[in-house]
Amino acid sequence: DVRTRLIQALVLLLILLGLFWWAMTRLLRPLTEISGHIRTRDITELQHLPALDDTASAEIRMIKQALDGLMGKSHEYTESLRESRDLLRRQAKERAELIDELEAKNAELERFTYTVSHDLKSPLITIRGFVGLLETDLKADDRQRVAQDLQQIASATDTMQNLLNELLELSRIGR
């Protein structure tokens, strides 16, 4: 009787082991194939997993279908991120080029402003000097020198007027 029970227990154990082996091969083999396929590739490049063989269970097929959906979405998001990254790089490059251009124009404007201010100071210095001479000549009642001083002042104002006119013309051309 003990021997019969032992045989029954062994048969039951073998049946359970057989069912376990069947379930494991039916479940684990497809899962192992899926995970191996994922591990050997760049996940961002995958859109779908390879087809399962006919022995895969419905649950495994559902898992594969869900993974395919996730991988497809992941691929879409990755592509979207790549496009955004490329756009940002292009915009950053354009912005850097514009900044360089703006800095060059600002440097040119600084040089121009320095030159113009220097050119406009020159007639003013001349006028100021001849105003002092004019005062001296008026006190000395030297009419010939007064006329020369006034001529020099008029010449300096004409020079300044020409510089201002040219500056205004340049600003109109720049628009």
* Residue pair 76/46 in contact by the 8 Å Cβ criterion: no
Could you tell me the pLDDT band of residue 152, with boundaries at 50, 70 and 90? very high
Strand ranges inside 17-90, DSSP E: none
Interatomic CA distance for residues 121 and 126, integer angstroms? 9
Mean of pLDDT values over 31-48: 64
Could you tell me the pLDDT band of residue 158, with boundaries at 50, 70 and 90? very high
pTM of the model: 0.49
> Which residues lie closer than 8 Å to 146 by C-beta, 6 or more apart?
134, 137, 138
pLDDT at residue 40, rounded to an integer: 61
Rounded to 10 degrees, the C-alpha dihedral 80/84/87/92 comes to -160
pLDDT at residue 129, rounded to an integer: 92
Mean of pLDDT values over 6-28: 84
